[in-house]
Structure 1
Amino acid sequence: MNDYAAKIRRLQELGPRSSGNDAHRALIEEVALDLTDLGLDVNRDSHSFERWDATPDQIGLTVKGRSIVLSSAWPYSGETPAAGVTGPLIMLRGRLKNWKSASGKIAVIEARNIDVPAHLLFDTWGGELPFHTLSNPVVGSELAGTDLARARKAGVLGVVAIWRDLPDSAAHAQYLPFTRDYQGIPAVWAPESEADALVRAAEAGEEATLTLAADRTPGASMDTLWAVSPGTGPQAKEAVLVVTHSDGGNAVEENGHLALLALAHEAVTVPHNRTIVFVYTAGHLRIPAVTKHGQATTAWLDKHPELWSPTGGGLHAVAGLAIEHLGAKHYSVDSTSGHYGPSGTLEPELLYATTAELAELVRSTWSGVEVGKGHPVKPGPIVQFGEGEPLLQHHIPAVSLITMPQYLLAETNDDVVDIDALSRQVDSFRKLQTHLAGSVDSSAFGKVTVPGKVKKLFAAIRAFRYASSH
């Protein structure tokens, strides 16, 4: 069960697992077989949707006959005819963009990879945060004022978004943003090395041709898996949820099934007091296909209250573990060579604990990036990143790992996983599961307090002011 290196190689063989593609479905079936081999009954929730795909050879941009290097397509943006769409470029600036001025044109916008102070996104449990800033293109892609739906309504032909403050090699093949519904307008990302030329061309209104010959597949499907390991003690009606997701573009995003399978093996091998429910959710990279709010796990919670809700007439979830992005190597730009790649260190962990009691438990049991040390953070009032967020919103005390390297959403087969760190993190989750599924009274896990509307508002204002000034 613990040949993690072989399992990581398997992820690299499969390649990017965008929601519902062949590689994604193949991995789901492999995990289903592994769970079945453990003697667990595997249940399925099938999600049907229209899949959108674009390969690198399906995107292109030429300006006055010169081919522009592109980083990636904007997922679920839209598509052009095979010959593309042609029109003058126009530069749009600011967060509230005048899309109407770009009617009949191809809009050029900029998105900065913002280095956000950690205190704007996370709270602490009476200590220091494990890192001072968070620099991830997920944030920049969401804060760039890129409302493609308004662009489509305004009659814009297409959108070219330029990355700023992100190395070309880090911008390459980023699958961003991944949280939005189909937009109905073609859009692509361009690297910073093309920025100056594109801005000049847009300011001059030069003619360009944008090509995004994406494929749309109606009736695509993907399955969320779940399996139950019954408790054997007096608290068997209480449940511990163990959650991860299956879609991902590289061997870090997402490799959480390695821990899920290891914890499932532990559960069927060693009797446990509480019932453990293992959830392998699909749709993290296509959230609008499975739910109208929250993360993909929200869909499973909504469909199966009998497995977690105190009012569902079945199990009552008293704790949870959400597992994402194990063993992430840190990538950075070498100051001498300018090359973006492994720095020789590990990516700092973003390790959430949603109660003070669980934060203390993490400190005493966790061993991951730092051997023998865990640095839990408290979810901030704006957002909790990752599939642990629905557990927070449903007041289920939980520990969640969601490390966020810059390459997290890049479709790459690079060697991004440190096996030793991954092994320590899996062992740490195993210790947490043993404790949470044991006989200690659930009151020891603490009570979850979700930030109120006023606190969320003030936090959002602070974050918006910071983003507007950078």
Structure 2
Amino acid sequence: MSRWSNPSSRRGFLGRTGGLAATAGLAAALGDGLTCRDGSAGRPPAGRTQSDGTTLSDGTTPRGAATGYPAPGTITADDLVDAGTLWSWTERMAGHGPRLPGSDAHRRHIDDLAERLAGYGLTVTRHPTRLSAWLADSWSLRVVDGDGRSHTVPVAAYRPHSGETPARGVTAAVVDVGAGDEPDYRRTPVAGAIVLADGAVARLSASVLGDLADHVHPPEARSGLANEDYSRVWLDVPPQPSLETARRHGAVAMIEILHLSPALAAGQYTPHQQEHAALPTLHVDAEQGARLRSLLARGPLTATLTLTASRRETTVDYLTALLPGSGAPPPAPAPTRAPVPTRASVPAPTPAGPTRATGAAEPRLTPGAVLVATHTDGQNAVEENGGPALLALAEYFSRFPARDRPRDLLFLFSPNHMVSEAATVKPDAWLRGHPEIMNNVAMALAAEHLGTMAWDDRGGTAAYRATGRSELVTVPVGHSDTLRELAIDEVKASDLTRSAVLRPFQNGLYGEGTFPYRLGIPTIAFISGPAYLVQVAPGDNLDKLDRALLHRHTLFLARLLSRMLALPTAKP
């Protein structure tokens, strides 16, 4: 029995942008308020410790006020909190446990972020938003072969939001349906059975990203991308077996074989944005899948599959944290925002749960504001360490008087990256429901998955291991040639090695940046997509991060943000 998502258990890319599918050689995957607004400075009083002398919840004391607001793109590593402090913030986040949407660990992380942002003098507002929460509690798999021998089968992970069983599980004959496509079910009756299906993982190279890049840094790195494994289960390419199809044909549960090595398959929270399917499903790795098929080849196989979970309608909070500036620059001579696309997949906020702050005024933005976004839910120290990075940005920029900051900064922390659109209000729909924010935002910066090192199993042909190189970082840009050139310039100035400035693909920017982009807001994103991205693992995958690289990536964001703040027109 495994327990890694139960809130009481300690260890229990590209976001919702569509699935990277093969198309001419590619397919890409695509409140209550804590208010402390200060009209003259971001921190009350500017840059000093809190008046009662107390420290923040992480044990640190805010640094003093800074002088000499930096010229665009001149921030240095010494200007930010140091690498050790940023690392400790990442450890603190991971220490809550996997922040699966709506879990106690997730709520603790949100509370912690809110308190610390307020401690830096930002106006923090909580916005409760509906959530159909699903949290697995326990799971196991046992089979009995044709000779009556019982075998316990190690489970790699459960399939999120797949379904639930009673505590005793469900017991039924095992039927192999191969890929689990519609023709497979027509050939093989499965009514009342537990189906065994393949969860294939497309063997891709990093050239799928290089093909979308306007710039790769250093340029000579582009040619080597074809030799880098980019097989990623979270891309859902090809799509994992359809649970709806299996259920429609009468199956009572599914065992899905993830074609990954055991170490890489373990704990994979995939697919991470699935609607509830009412068909409990467990993942096994490639070795256990071969074992099950070997047992089936010898005779009938009966399985008892257990997956207990809780389901409930609840709310979870978006956080906004406002750091006011001196006012927007002069308006641009003509609007530059692209028309907002009409998409059936971007619903307006529904009355199923509150999406507006209660008990506090909405943030009052000056036109020309910059939105800085990430999300709070995640499985490990990578997913999502945008929170600690944004804390470092908030801490740095709050040290200067508001008169020095040309624009308002609004930090947005969404709580629902790891659920389907049907289960919540996604950031694009949420922003559409908050015109007082959206109408005053001139541009956006989204940050995810910093400091990652590359690990792979060579497309399933070798042991899972570190490659010795950093994970390729992508900097997608949409709706602004000015921002694209700015991003390329800063990649070069920061010498951001193993990075690629990408064009949009399939109406997305590969992660949280997709949501402002879909609303026509000029957006820069920063995101990497390692193989272990959505993996719940002992140690929270901290061993796969590099603390110096985490700090360097955060510095890049600070320098980039300073350039965005200094742009001379309201909209880029």
Matches for 1:424-439 after TM superposition, within 5 Å:
424-439=552-567
8 Å contact from structure 1 (residues 123, 377) kept in 2: yes
Residue 343 (1) aligns with residue 424 (2): no
Aligned CA distance change for structure 1 residues 234 and 193 (closer, same or farther; 3 Å): closer
Q: Take 2:165 and 2:494, find their aligned partners in 1: how far apart are those partners?
A: 45
What does residue 110 of structure 1 align with?
198
Residue 76 (1) aligns with residue 161 (2): yes
What does residue 136 of structure 1 align with?
232
Using the TM superposition, give the Cα deviation of residue 373 of structure 1 relative to its aligned residue in structure 2, in angstroms: 7.2
Matches for 1:30-429 after TM superposition, within 5 Å:
30-55=112-137, 57-64=138-145, 65-94=150-179, 96-97=181-182, 98-99=184-185, 101-117=189-205, 123-125=212-214, 130=222, 131-132=225-226, 134-140=230-236, 143-164=238-259, 166-202=260-296, 206-235=300-329, 236-270=366-400, 271-288=404-421, 291=424, 296-309=426-439, 315=440, 317-333=441-457, 339-354=463-478, 355-366=480-491, 371=496, 374-381=499-506, 383-412=508-537, 413-414=540-541, 415-429=543-557
> When the two structures are aligned, how many residues end up with a matched partner?
431
Q: Take 2:299 and 2:132, find their aligned partners in 1: how far apart are those partners?
A: 35
Aligned CA distance change for structure 1 residues 9 and 88 (closer, same or farther; 3 Å): same
Q: Take 1:224 and 1:370, find their aligned partners in 2: how far apart are those partners?
A: 34
8 Å contact from structure 1 (residues 231, 272) kept in 2: yes
Using the TM superposition, give the Cα deviation of residue 219 of structure 1 relative to its aligned residue in structure 2, in angstroms: 3.9
Aligned CA distance change for structure 1 residues 183 and 398 (closer, same or farther; 3 Å): same
**Structure showing greater relative contact order (alpha-carbon pairs closer than 8 Å, 6 or more residues apart):** 2
Using the TM superposition, give the Cα deviation of residue 372 of structure 1 relative to its aligned residue in structure 2, in angstroms: 6.2
Aligned CA distance change for structure 1 residues 269 and 197 (closer, same or farther; 3 Å): same
Q: Take 1:59 and 1:368, find their aligned partners in 2: how far apart are those partners?
A: 52
Using the TM superposition, give the Cα deviation of residue 421 of structure 1 relative to its aligned residue in structure 2, in angstroms: 0.9
Using the TM superposition, give the Cα deviation of residue 275 of structure 1 relative to its aligned residue in structure 2, in angstroms: 1.6
8 Å contact from structure 2 (residues 98, 378) kept in 1: yes
Deviates more, 1:5-14 or 1:254-263: 5-14
1:78 alignment partner AA: G
Q: Take 2:258 and 2:311, find their aligned partners in 1: how far apart are those partners?
A: 29
8 Å contact from structure 1 (residues 367, 374) kept in 2: no
8 Å contact from structure 1 (residues 329, 417) kept in 2: yes
TM-score by length of 1: 0.84
Q: Take 2:528 and 2:268, find their aligned partners in 1: how far apart are those partners?
A: 17
Residues 376-429 of structure 1: CA deviation (Å, up to 9, x unaligned): 111223753211111221121111122111100000223222111111111111
Aligned CA distance change for structure 1 residues 162 and 288 (closer, same or farther; 3 Å): same
8 Å contact from structure 2 (residues 180, 197) kept in 1: no
What does residue 463 of structure 1 align with?
none
Q: Take 1:76 and 1:70, find their aligned partners in 2: how far apart are those partners?
A: 16
Q: Take 2:214 and 2:140, find their aligned partners in 1: how far apart are those partners?
A: 46
Aligned CA distance change for structure 1 residues 27 and 36 (closer, same or farther; 3 Å): same
Using the TM superposition, give the Cα deviation of residue 290 of structure 1 relative to its aligned residue in structure 2, in angstroms: 5.2
**SS of 2:319 mapped into structure 1:** strand
Q: Take 1:408 and 1:367, find their aligned partners in 2: how far apart are those partners?
A: 27
Q: Take 1:174 and 1:266, find their aligned partners in 2: how far apart are those partners?
A: 35
8 Å contact from structure 2 (residues 472, 498) kept in 1: no
**SS of 1:259 mapped into structure 2:** helix
Computing the radius of gyration from Cα coordinates, the structure with the larger value is: 2
Q: Take 1:23 and 1:346, find their aligned partners in 2: how far apart are those partners?
A: 29
Deviates more, 1:361-370 or 1:37-46: 361-370
Using the TM superposition, give the Cα deviation of residue 351 of structure 1 relative to its aligned residue in structure 2, in angstroms: 2.0
Using the TM superposition, give the Cα deviation of residue 331 of structure 1 relative to its aligned residue in structure 2, in angstroms: 1.3
1:114 alignment partner AA: A
Using the TM superposition, give the Cα deviation of residue 202 of structure 1 relative to its aligned residue in structure 2, in angstroms: 4.7
8 Å contact from structure 1 (residues 87, 106) kept in 2: yes
Q: Take 1:357 and 1:203, find their aligned partners in 2: how far apart are those partners?
A: 61
Q: Take 2:547 and 2:281, find their aligned partners in 1: how far apart are those partners?
A: 37
Aligned CA distance change for structure 1 residues 370 and 111 (closer, same or farther; 3 Å): farther
Residues 249-302 of structure 1: CA deviation (Å, up to 9, x unaligned): 11011110122112222332233112211101101112336547xxx3224312
| Larger fraction in helix | 1
8 Å contact from structure 2 (residues 428, 519) kept in 1: no
Superposition RMSD on alpha carbons, in Å?
2.7
